[in-house]
Amino acid sequence: MTEQISEFDQLGELFSAGLNLYLNWAKQKGLSANEFYVLYRLGLGGACTQKDIAEEWSIPKQTVSVVCKQFLEKGYLQYTKSSTDKREKKLSLTELGKTVAMPIVMELSAIEQRIAEQFGKEQLSDLLNNLVRLQRLFAENLEQW
């Protein structure tokens, strides 16, 4: 008897494969997955906390801390105090960090733009809207279970 793979299993496999494409690309650039997460987030989104990075990428805060410490030692990052909470430290890229991160961010953005054009921007927008709706339904149903 052949087992049928559910649509949710297929989605999981597709998301995992998609993430692996990004991580293999980062590896070609000489970055580990966690280094990529930190540099990409800071390069794309600007200053943030270690907690922000950990939550956005669903990785342990301690892992982010280790990567940030390494990047601080290399001179890629700097800490600044938050204007709203003096106990909170925000991370940002130094000029040296920008020379490392921004070419990676720009190259990946160009690749993503080309893919969006090939796929169709309207189709991509529809896909994203449907995935958001699916995620919302999934969350609501898990909460009720």
Give the pLDDT confidence of 1-47 residue by residue, as tens digits: 557 889 989 999 999 999 999 999 999 999 999 999 999 999 999 99
Position 3 scores a pLDDT of 73
The backbone torsions φ and ψ at residue 83, rounded to the nearest 5 degrees and listed phi first, read -75, -20
**Mean of pLDDT values over 102-122:** 97
Which residues are 90's β-sheet partners? 80
Three-state secondary structure call for residue 4: coil
Locate the DSSP E strands across the chain.
Answer: 77-81, 89-93
> What one-letter code names the amino acid at 134?
L
CB 46 within 8 A of CB 40: no
Question: Is the dihedral angle over the CA atoms 138, 139, 144, 145 positive or is it negative?
Answer: positive
pLDDT digits (tens, 9 = 90+) for 46-60: 999 999 999 999 999
**Alpha carbons 61 and 98: distance in angstroms, whole number:** 23
**Mean of pLDDT values over 121-134:** 96
- DSSP-derived letter for residue 83 is S
And the tokens for 141? 């149903």
